[in-house]
Amino acid sequence: VAASAEAEQPPREDGEYHVAPLAMPTEEEALDVDTDEAKRQVNSLEQQRDRQRGGADLAAVVAFREADTTCRERQAHLAEATAARDAARDAHEALRRRRLEEFMEGFGRISLGLKEMYQMI
**Digit-coded pLDDT (tens) for 70-90:** 999 999 999 999 999 999 999
CA angle 57, 19, 37 (to 5 degrees): 85
Which residue pairs from 33-36 have beta carbons closer than 8 angstroms and sit at least 24 positions apart in sequence?
A: none
pTM for this predicted structure? 0.46
* pLDDT digits 0-9 by tens, 17-59: 777 888 888 888 888 888 888 899 999 999 888 887 766 677 8
Average pLDDT over residues 91-120: 95
Q: Would the pLDDT of 6 be above 50?
A: no
Structural contact between residues 11 and 17, judged by C-beta atoms closer than 8 angstroms: yes
Give the model's pLDDT for residue 35: 85
Give the model's pLDDT for residue 3: 47
- In the structure, what pLDDT confidence band is assigned to residue 111 with cuts at 50, 70 and 90? very high
Distance CA 97, CA 78 (A): 28
